[in-house]
Chains A and B, each alone.
Chain A
């Protein structure tokens, strides 16, 4: 029996799909079987970021409709053999999802893999609701800016009211990933501090990812940044994946830039 984790954000463009790809790969690197599922029907991106674009034959909608078997549609990654991928349909739209079909698919995935990661579409429409409905946990990806925080707050609110687990009287675990942190901007007061974000959202922090130029290039090339051992963002995703696999990984304070003693001192007196 695996665990189903939905990756949500509310706002688009905060790095949800990048986080899904990297965390999926990170978990697979921890010797756990992991499947990443693109629930962003009609706007699929995850295949490109994982570098599996040209291997997609069948998609999730075809599996749900019973046209093909799950095993036929699942793609095994060549980068890491523990990583599997199920693509979204590019031609259909979110309205094709039905609760009963989603439930059946999620149950089937839960049986077959240790970790099932669902990449939710942006927004809070039906596609989002179907993604979170049968998830055991959610990873909330935010950027340190007010609009992202407010949208994430709304998404968490919907998660807390629409999730099947909550309806059964249980709690949905919620983990926060703060993405695209710029230490310099936080120190100059231009960017929200993690403490402020945590106070507003009031969920557990699972990791902070710094702004990293390498992320875009990695996505374009279809090689998630976690594969780059030198990348700050890649290291951050590795730490988060370790935490998701139950390891005790120290939080690294990426909000203090380590580019010199002088900057550290100015940060202290701020």
Chain B
């Protein structure tokens, strides 16, 4: 699509006396030759012929959009800008709120955490290996461990995900978690209304006796 945009001056009028109308345009032709002539009411063939002959561009019985002042346009743009910046701030705040719940500076570790190691992580931790007896892990954020834990965990995040770990010592938000309750392959531990809630994520596989 090819398009152009330009402003045209419009001269709007009605015809009461055809003779006077033609005289007016004869005299002021120089002034109106670049105008769009908008005529409200009926036009006789004589007038049409006259206008085409001049030539003058004309329209009949139309309502054209009324232009606005520059000031009015600027005011409208300003309001729009303020609104969009407010919307953006709201969106950003929402994302920030979500990310503080889900992820703050995620650390990923794939070491086997051996006895004697004391790891402090300011943020979230994803640990893909086991935590041996005598090791301690402390996170201020969320903690996800995919292997068995025999050491100590201190988590102050929104949630913890871990496998059944009967030998682990787990303290979540200063409260010791009874690890007999962690009985599934992957458990989710979270704080809801001041209570520790443990929900299974992946159920323990049941080996049926043959």
Interface residues of A (CB under 8 A from B): 124, 146, 149-151, 153-154, 156-158, 160, 199-200, 202
Contacts and interface: CB of A to CB of B under 8 A. Distances in A.
B132 A200 contact: yes
Interface string B71-91: 000000000000000000000
A9 to B, nearest CB: 13
B190 interface: no
15 contacts: A146-B133, A149-B133, A150-B133, A151-B115, A153-B114, A153-B115, A153-B116, A153-B133, A153-B134, A154-B116, A154-B134, A156-B114, A157-B117, A200-B130, A202-B129
B181 interface: no
B150 interface: yes
A199 B112 CA distance: 10
| Residue from B112, B114, B117 whose CB has the most chain A CB atoms within 10 Å | B114
Contact of B150 (A124, A154, A200): A200
A120 B36 CA distance: 103
B152 to A, nearest CB: 13
A150 B112 contact: no
| Residue from A149, A156, A157, A158 whose CB has the most chain B CB atoms within 10 Å | A157
10 A-B pairs with the lowest CB-CB distances in the bound complex, closest first: A157-B114, A153-B115, A154-B115, A154-B116, A153-B114, A153-B132, A202-B112, A150-B115, A150-B133, A150-B134
Interface string B106-135: 000000101111000000000001101110
A153 B130 CA distance: 12
B87 to A, nearest CB: 50
A157 B116 contact: yes
A158 B134 CA distance: 13
A159 B117 CA distance: 12
A151 B114 CA distance: 10
Nearest to A159: B114
A152 to B, nearest CB: 8
B133 A157 contact: no
Interface in B121-158: 129-130, 132-134, 150
Interface in B93-116: 112, 114-116
A25 B116 CA distance: 34
Contacts of B115: 150-151, 153-154, 157
Nearest to A156: B114
B112 to A, nearest CB: 5
Interface in B4-61: none
Contacts of B116: 124, 153-154, 157-158
Nearest to A202: B112
| Residue from B112, B115, B129, B134 whose CB has the most chain A CB atoms within 10 Å | B115
Contacts of A199: 130
A137 B133 CA distance: 24
A247 B1 CA distance: 80
A160 B117 CA distance: 12
